[in-house]
Amino acid sequence: MINLIGTYECKIDAKGRVMLPSALKKQLLPILEKNFVLKRSVFQPCLELYPMDEWDVIMEKVSKLNRFDRKNNDFIRRLTAGLKMIELDASGRLLVAKDLIGYSGLEKEIVISSAGSILEIWDKNKYESAINDATVDFADLAEEVMGDKNDDFNGVS
């Protein structure tokens, strides 16, 4: 499992090409040959870039769902809607398909943000809005998610 670190401001060109920052490419170096999966985020108007090994873990869980259950079938369809296999070109760029650009509202200025073992790709303005959302008190959220409920957490803040 890879643990990606950092938030990077980048540009996307009219053809949907994104040059990955060198610091990010260095982190991805051990897994570049295995390609990636780019998909719509479930919860936010952004895209998620999964290293293939991480995506395989998710699909292993999904493959155990009963496809004759309507909710499962609808979930699988929506989870995989717009899914794209991605590889970096010789220049270290990734190509974002037009339908995914439309879904996420990517314009010229974008943000690539690490989220554990995956990367989120945001329109810069939407990213700033999500991070600065006044309706979510991050201290309260941190306490709820990482507080006493998680016995394995060592209390580092």
In this predicted model, what pLDDT tens digit does every residue of 100-157 receive, in sequence order? 999 999 999 999 999 999 999 999 999 999 988 766 677 787 788 888 755 555 555 4
Residue 154 lies in a domain: no
Helix (H, G, I), strand (E, B) or coil at 60: helix
Per-residue pLDDT of 23-69, as tens digits, reads 999 999 888 888 999 999 999 999 999 999 999 999 999 999 999 99
User: What total of structural domains would you count in the chain?
Assistant: 1
Domain presence at residue 72? yes
| Domain that includes residue 91, residue range | 7-146
Helices (H), the chain: 22-28, 52-62, 70-79, 98-104, 124-131, 138-146
Mean pLDDT confidence for 16-26: 94
The pLDDT value recorded for residue 106 is 97
- Asked if the structure places residue 39 within a domain, the reply is yes
In a domain, 110, yes or no: yes
Is 85 part of any domain?
yes
Q: pTM of the full predicted structure?
A: 0.86
CATH number of the domain that residue 114 is part of? 3.40.1550.20
For residues 44 and 27, what is the distance between their CA atoms, to the nearest angstrom?
Answer: 24
Q: Say if 44 falls within a structural domain.
A: yes
Report the alpha-carbon distance of residue 72 to residue 65 in Å, rounded. Answer: 6
Structure tokens belonging to residue 27: 């982190």
- Residue 133's pLDDT is 78
Q: Does 156 map to a domain? A: no
Q: Is 19 domain-assigned?
A: yes
Token representation of residue 60: 């292993």
